[in-house]
């Protein structure tokens, strides 16, 4: 038979978690985009943050607010590199979430609050990993790597990640192998503010389509130029189709992902030296990284 004190402790924990969910439920929304349904949250009046990967490339977007009201939304901006998208709605009376850019400890309890059809959803687990800044495979600068050990329904992706005190420390998204990651509050504030004003985050652009080629005896790999933008920086610098890129500023190119991560916002305008092989001959080519053009 359970000890009375233990039972009351569990009841208090249950009540406190339910209170945390109720506190943030008014800011949680459900988002329908063609064949996709996900969650998001009100970031500022009339502006909603959600996971970029959950949105279709085009088509209508609808948002169901807490209580069930359905409103049309337009995409104000999106950044696939950090998985942050910003939606705009006409309603500005719904309460916004208060993000807290504070560190989160490994082993801490965590909740994710999403929404389905105007009703809140919640899932519960722990912070399984919390480390420093990192870059996504697409080169996005993310202020902290936070992983959660919990089961996240697809419809809850884009929901608010909360600690046991009820502080919203980020947005829950799916990473590789359906690992649940958190885009931290500091990243969301930085990226969403830029999307609100500019609609996009500039990324570095070489104007190349590359394919990895096997490494040589040294262990270094390379990237063959399969095609190139005739107006892009690489073409202007004299790089040709069939060239094999071997080095970036003197460092061997071992993985294409590493090269892509080097093309973040800070790379625009940077001058780099690419070491390449052409017809069996090695040479160096200097170019200036441009901003990726709008699609």
CATH code, domain with 238: 2.30.42.10
- Residues 101, 156 share a domain: yes
Residue 179, CA distances (Å) to 128, 145, 293 in order? 11, 12, 31
Q: How confident is the model at residue 217 (pLDDT cuts 50, 70, 90)?
A: very low
Range of the domain at 136: 1-90+97-201
Q: Which pTM was predicted? A: 0.79
Chain segment 72-96, per-residue pLDDT in tens: 999 999 999 899 999 999 998 989 9
pLDDT at 31 over 70: yes
Determine which of 74-78, 201-205, 278-282 has the lowest per-residue pLDDT on average: 201-205
Span 164-184, mean pLDDT? 95
Q: Are 147 and 184 in contact (CB under 8 A)?
A: no
- Give the mean model confidence (pLDDT) for residues 174-193: 95
57 and 159 together in one domain: yes
Q: What pLDDT band is residue 201 in, cutting at 50, 70 and 90?
A: confident
Q: Are strands 180-184 and 145-149 parallel, antiparallel or unpaired?
A: antiparallel
Task: Tell me: do 66 and 188 sit in the same domain.
Answer: yes
Structure confidence at residue 2 (pLDDT) = 54
pLDDT at residue number 3:
57
Look at residues 156, 183, 201 and tell me which one is the last residue of a structural domain: 201
- Assess whether 278 and 232 both reside in one domain: yes
Q: Are residues 223 and 124 in the same domain?
A: no
The predicted model gives 114-128 an average pLDDT of 96
* 222 and 144 in a common domain: no
Average pLDDT over residues 41-70: 94
Strand partners, 272: 287
Contact indicator for 204, 270 with CB cutoff of 8 Å: yes
Contact 204, 264 (CB under 8 A): yes
pLDDT of 1 over the 80 cut: no
* Domain-ending residue, one of 201, 218, 240: 201
Last residue of a domain, one of 175, 201, 227: 201
Both 58 and 129 in one domain: the answer is: yes
pLDDT at 284 over 60: yes
- Choose among 186, 171, 28, 168: nearest CA to 94: 28
CB 137 within 8 A of CB 257: yes
Using the predicted structure, report yes or no on whether residue 280 has a pLDDT greater than 80.
yes
Q: Lowest mean pLDDT of 97-111, 176-190, 209-223, 277-291, name the range.
A: 209-223
269, 155: one domain: no
Distance CA(214)–CA(109), nearest Å, equals: 45
Q: How many degrees, rounded to 5, is the angle at CA 136 between CA 87 and CA 258?
A: 140
Same domain, 158 and 194: yes
What's the CA gap between 95 and 239, in Å, rounded?
Answer: 53
**CA pair distance 273, 275, nearest whole angstrom:** 7
pLDDT in tens, 236-248: 999 999 999 999 9
Domains: count for the chain: 2
Looking at the fold, whether 250 and 175 belong to one and the same domain comes out as no
Q: Which among 167, 20, 183 is positioned nearest to 86, based on CA atoms?
A: 183
**Mean pLDDT, rounded, for 183-192:** 97
Considering Cα of 131, then 51, then 185, then 78, what sign does the dihedral take? Answer: positive
pLDDT band at 138 (very low <50, low <70, confident <90, very high): confident
């Amino acid at each position: 038979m359970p000890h009375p004190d233990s039972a009351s402790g569990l009841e208090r924990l249950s009540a406190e978690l339910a209170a945390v969910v109720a506190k943030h439920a008014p800011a949680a929304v459900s988002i329908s985009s063609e064949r996709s349904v996900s969650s998001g949250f009100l970031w500022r009046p009339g502006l909603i943050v959600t996971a970029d990967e959950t949105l279709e490339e085009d088509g209508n977007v609808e948002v169901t607010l807490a209580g069930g009201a359905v409103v049309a939304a337009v995409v104000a901006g999106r950044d696939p590199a950090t998985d942050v998208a910003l939606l705009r709605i006409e309603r500005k009376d719904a309460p916004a979430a208060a993000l807290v850019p504070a560190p989160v400890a490994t082993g801490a309890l965590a909740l994710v609050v999403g929404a389905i059809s105007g009703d809140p959803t919640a899932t519960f687990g722990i912070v399984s990993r919390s480390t420093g800044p990192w870059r996504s495979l697409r080169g996005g600068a993310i202020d902290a790597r936070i992983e959660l050990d919990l089961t996240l329904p697809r419809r809850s992706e884009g929901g608010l990640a909360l600690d046991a005190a009820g502080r919203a420390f980020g947005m829950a998204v799916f990473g590789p192998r359906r690992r649940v990651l958190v885009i931290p509050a500091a990243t969301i504030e930085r990226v969403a503010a830029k999307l609100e004003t500019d609609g996009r985050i500039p990324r570095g652009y070489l104007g190349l389509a590359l394919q990895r080629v096997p490494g040589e005896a040294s262990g270094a790999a390379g990237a063959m130029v399969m095609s190139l933008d005739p107006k892009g920086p690489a073409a202007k610098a004299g790089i040709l189709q069939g060239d094999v890129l071997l080095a970036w500023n003197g460092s061997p190119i071992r993985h294409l992902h590493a090269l892509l991560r080097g093309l973040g916002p800070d790379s625009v305008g940077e001058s780099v030296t690419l070491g390449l092989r052409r017809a069996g001959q090695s040479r160096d080519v200097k170019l200036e990284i441009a901003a990726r053009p709008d699609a």
